[in-house]
Structure 1
Amino acid sequence: MTLKEQLRKRGPLGFLTMLVYRLGNQIYYRVKVPGIRHLLWLVYRILDIIVVRMIGSAEIPAMARIGEGLGLVHGGNGVIIAPGVVVGDQCTLYHQVTLGVRNGHQGAPVLGDHVFIGAGAKILGPVKIGNHAKIGANAVVLQDVPDGATAVGVPARILLPKEEADE
């Protein structure tokens, strides 16, 4: 994806947010020389606090694993992603989305590819969201969502695609 395409898909704030995330992610997982790693980590943390947390009102830690082409609608405003979360390729997150852990449960959410998550949705605990799944606005997902399914409500109900529901 070119820089122009990334800017168009994410907007300037979403682009900067992902740029800071990618910097931190590369430092966290790839830089092994201690002195250089600490210096680069300090630069990342300053950028993270100023750009991502203060300006963007988001929390996207470097320890999360995020695939290519993440769409942060509204610049990722209020998006919270816990360390350990895995997000597949070409996913879309609207504002105020939380991908987090649950008390008493080990693990964090794992999202497949091409997942759409509506505004205010919460996905909590060690759940798996399948490829091409959709999570409705303000849904609270506490269970796995199969490929192509839609989750809506509090707690979320799973709606299967029509061809699967007919069987």
Structure 2
Amino acid sequence: MLKLFRLANLLSRYRIPFFPKLIYYVNRIVFSVVLPASTQVGKNVIFGYQGLGIVIHPRVIIGDGVVVGTNVTIGGRSKIYAVPTIGENTIIGSGAKILGPIKIGRYVDIGANAVVVNDVPDYAVVVGIPAKIIRIKNIE
């Protein structure tokens, strides 16, 4: 799934119109993931169960080493152009929703089914609806 996405992303950067869209639909049908070719995905990103149920906005930026659980939505909110930016080595629990023009810091843990609508600082652990910071991890 991720290899197909990377191929679609490469073809999209070279402005080849048909094949990125075809690969998008193959990923959508076979893996049940919405991952447009224009999304910026870092190195060593892991999508749980090959991306099952994941929906990602085309302008989202995902940093290196991020782990994304199943049924996660990362996208915008109506009438707001900006979308989330996910920092490196973040863990996003299954069913989480990350919405709006927010920045998720580095080494953040987002709990299962959390709804994140505000910025999250580095090393934070957030849970709940709406997501609240329950602690800041030790950096040592």
TM over 0.5: yes
SS at the partner of 1:160? strand
Q: Matched residue of 1:120: which SS?
A: coil
Alpha carbons of 1:163 and 1:83: their partners in 2 closer, same or farther (altered >3 Å)? same
Match of 1:26 in 2: 10
Q: Which residue of 2 aligns with 1:99?
A: 74
Residue 163 of structure 1, CA deviation: 5.4
The match for 1:48 among 5, 24, 38 is: 24
Alpha-carbon contact 2:88-2:106 (below 8 Å) kept: yes
Say whether residues 1:64 and 2:31 are aligned partners. no
Name the structure with the higher strand share.
2
Q: Residue 124 of structure 2 is aligned with which of 138, 146, 149?
A: 149
The one-character-per-residue Cα deviations of 1:36-88 (angstroms, maximum 9, x if unpaired) are x2xxx3223223212x1011111000111110011111111000000110000
Identity of aligned residues (%): 37
Structure 2: runs of 5 or more not aligned: none
Whole-angstrom CA distance in 2 between matches of 1:28 and 1:54: 20
Gaps (5+ residues) in structure 1?
1-16
Q: 1:42 to 1:149 in 2, by over 3 A?
A: same
Report the CA distance between 1:110 and its aligned residue: 0.2
Runs of 4+ in 1 over 4 A off after TM superposition: none
Separation in 2, partners of 1:42, 1:98: 26
Q: 2:65 aligns with which of 87, 90, 114?
A: 90
Question: Are 2:134 and 1:159 equivalent residues in the alignment?
Answer: yes
Larger radius of gyration: 1
Q: Distance in 2 between matches of 1:109 and 1:58?
A: 18
Deviation string, structure 1 residues 88-145 (Cα, Å, up to 9, x no partner): 0000001000000001322110011000000000000111000000110000000001
Q: CA deviation at 1:162?
A: 5.5
Distance 1:83 1:48 in 2: 11
RMSD value, Cα? 1.5
* Change in 2 beyond 3 A, CA 1:162/1:85: closer
Count of matched residue positions in the alignment of Structure 1 and Structure 2? 139
1:25 offset after TM fit, Å? 1.1
Q: Is the 8 A contact 1:28 1:63 kept in 2?
A: yes
Q: Give the letter aligned to residue 91 of structure 2.
A: F
One-letter amino acid matched to 1:137: A
Matching residue's letter, 1:109: P
